[in-house]
Structure 1
Amino acid sequence: MPKVKDQNKVNAIYKATIELVTKTGFSGLKMAEVAKKSGVATGTLYVYYISKEQLINDVFVVTKKEVAGAIINSKYVKGSFNKTFKAMWYGYFKYCLLNPEKMLFVEQFIYSGYITEANIIKTNTYFEPLNQFLIEGQKNDYVKKMDVALIKAHLQGAIHEIVKMVVREGLKLKKKDMNTCFTMAWDSITE
């Protein structure tokens, strides 16, 4: 019977992994450093995760699920397409602003070569409601007729670059600036 994982230890391991990966990259990540930073015995870490690849994939899946929850939330349904889209956009923007290390982790991981095909498929399903929302927007002539993956990449890329600049420069975004960023995103995808 597999050992039940202590969720507090798992959370500490995930946090340590994300912090270390954003500093050292995936190839520089050492399981012993993850154990030390998370306050978990190295043996315990290996009981929970048999390899660095398994650990990174698990952290990726959990983080992508968080991201999906930040974007796709029933409280964001506001009646009109524009208002719902705005709530979703702000949800993701605020998630990235509050969790830049998770944003960077996911961004790095996608291109790292460590991601498994099973986890690509799994995490893509988390965003299916967003895909359907955008397709519905296209059917109703709100959103440009182009591949939804390109639309999402365009929106995500802009948010990521803004958040990186804000974090790097230590800027405080004013509400007016955030509203302008949203307006630029909206204008870029609408007909």
Structure 2
Amino acid sequence: MAMAFPNIYHHRKVADTSAKGCELCYKPSTSVLVTPENKDFFYVCVGHLKEKGFCSPIIDHEAIAAKKKEMDEEIERVKKEYEDKQRKKNEKQAEKENDKKDGKDKDGEIDTQKEEKTEKKDESKPENEDKGDVKSPPKAEDEPRVFALQRTFYQQRVDRKRQAEMARRNRERLSNPNFFPSVPKDQP
């Protein structure tokens, strides 16, 4: 008999053209649950993945902790970049104010005012982009990707796999000419 496969299914998406009927409700679905060794797979609607009676998510706490740590490091890096930009901006403004106090001519003052306006425009764009990166993490990764089927559904999958294996073996036996007994050749 074939060995039973583990009760670990990964959620995968297929192209819209490859959609097939859901195993439970028979509606076309592009979501597939597949075992790691590709021994078993079946199509299922995304809504069924949230039903407790069908499957439960397997949460990898180590991976979540690693992602959280990575996000915290990214946030700290962005904060430091922002603080550096603000500090540099303040230093430039302080230098320009000192230059104005020192008594530069009118042409120099007009040039510095134009430079300040262009610098403010240039600096405002990257700041908004950095803030956007921190606030909007990708939503697709929030959903669980690994599931364990409930006992009855898992047993149905194992039974179906065993029946398919038995049917395959029977076909092979029937196609073998030595399977059937031969006609006796001796005289009675």
Q: Please, what TM-score do these two structures have when normalized by structure 1?
A: 0.21
Q: RCO greater where, 1 or 2, for CA within 8 Å and sep 6 or more?
A: 2
Determine which structure has the larger strand proportion and give its number. 2
Question: Which of these two proteins has the greater Rg computed from alpha carbons?
Answer: 2
